[in-house]
Amino acid sequence: MKPQRWRQTVRTGLLWGAGAVFISLVGLVEALQQRQIITGVISGGHLLLLVVALGAGISAARKHAGTGTVRQLAAAALAGAITGLLPAILVALSTVVNLRSMLVGATPQLFAVLSFARGTDALPWIVLVVAGVSALGGALTLLPGEVRSLVTTGISTLLVVGLMQEQVQLLLQTERTARIREVLFTFDGLTVRGAVLVAVVSAGFSSAWHRQRPKATRRVAGLAPEQRKALRIVGFVAAVGAILILPLFVGPFFSQVLVLVGLYTLMGLGLNLEVGFAGLLDIGFVAFFAVGAYTVGLLTTGSEIAVAHLSWWTATLIAVVVSLISGVFFGLPILGIRGDYLAIATLGFGEIIRLLVLSDFLRPWLGGSQGVLTIPKPVLFGFEFRGPEQLFFITVGASALIAFVAARLRDSRLGRAWMAMREDEDVAQAMGINLINVKLLAYGIGAVFAGVSGAIFAVMVGSVFPHSFSVLVSINVLALIIVGGMGSLPGVVVGSLFLVGLPELLREFSDFRFLVYGAALMAMMVLRPEGLWPSATRRRELHEEVPRIPEGEMVEAQEGHV
Partner 1 sequence: MAILVSRGLTKRFGGLVAISQLDLDVGEKAIHSIIGPNGAGKTTFFNCVTGFYRSEEGSLEFNGVSLEGLSPDRITTMGIARTYQNIRLFANMTAIENILVGMHPHLTASWLGAILRTPGTVHEERMAHQQARELLQFVGLRGKGDLLARNLPYGEQRRLEIARSLAARPTLLLLDEPTAGMNPHETIEMMAFIQRLRNELGVTIILIEHQMRVVMGISDLVTVLDYGTKISEGTPRDVQNDARVIEAYLGRRGAVAH
Where do contacts with partner 1 occur on this chain (CB under 8 A)? Answer: 405, 408-409, 411-417, 419-420, 423-424, 426-435, 441, 445, 537, 540-541, 544-546, 548
Considering only CA atoms, which of 106, 97, 100 is closest in space to residue 25? 106
Q: Side-chain half-sphere of 357: how many Cα atoms within 13 Å?
A: 27
**Least CB distance to partner 1 at residue 416 (A):** 5
Beta bridge partners of 383: 380
What are the φ/ψ torsions at residue 121 (nearest 5 degrees)?
Answer: -60, -30
Q: Which is nearer to partner 1, 182 or 411 (CB)?
A: 411
**Least CB distance to partner 1 at residue 239 (A):** 22
Considering only CA atoms, which of 55, 53, 58 is closest in space to residue 88? 53
Q: Yes or no: say if 409 and 445 are a contact pair by the CB < 8 Å rule.
A: yes
Give dist(CA 200, CA 378) in Å, integer.
Answer: 45
Q: Which is nearer to partner 1, 369 or 434 (CB)?
A: 434
Q: Which is nearer to partner 1, 371 or 451 (CB)?
A: 451
Q: Which is nearer to partner 1, 255 or 272 (CB)?
A: 272
Beta strand extents in 343-491 (DSSP E only): 379-380, 383-384
Give dist(CA 18, CA 16) in Å, integer.
Answer: 5
**Least CB distance to partner 1 at residue 338 (A):** 15
Q: Which is nearer to partner 1, 382 or 432 (CB)?
A: 432
Cα–Cα–Cα angle for 506, 351, 485, nearest 5°? 50
**Least CB distance to partner 1 at residue 314 (A):** 21
Q: Which is nearer to partner 1, 221 or 546 (CB)?
A: 546
Give dist(CA 483, CA 529) in Å, integer.
Answer: 8
Q: Which is nearer to partner 1, 260 or 273 (CB)?
A: 273
Cα–Cα–Cα angle for 467, 473, 479, nearest 5°? 165
Longest CA–CA span in the chain (Å) reads 81
- Torsion (CA) 68, 74, 78, 83 in degrees, nearest 10: 80
**Least CB distance to partner 1 at residue 551 (A):** 18
**Least CB distance to partner 1 at residue 537 (A):** 6
Give dist(CA 293, CA 5) in Å, integer.
Answer: 57
**Least CB distance to partner 1 at residue 542 (A):** 10
Q: Which is nearer to partner 1, 97 or 335 (CB)?
A: 335
**Least CB distance to partner 1 at residue 411 (A):** 8
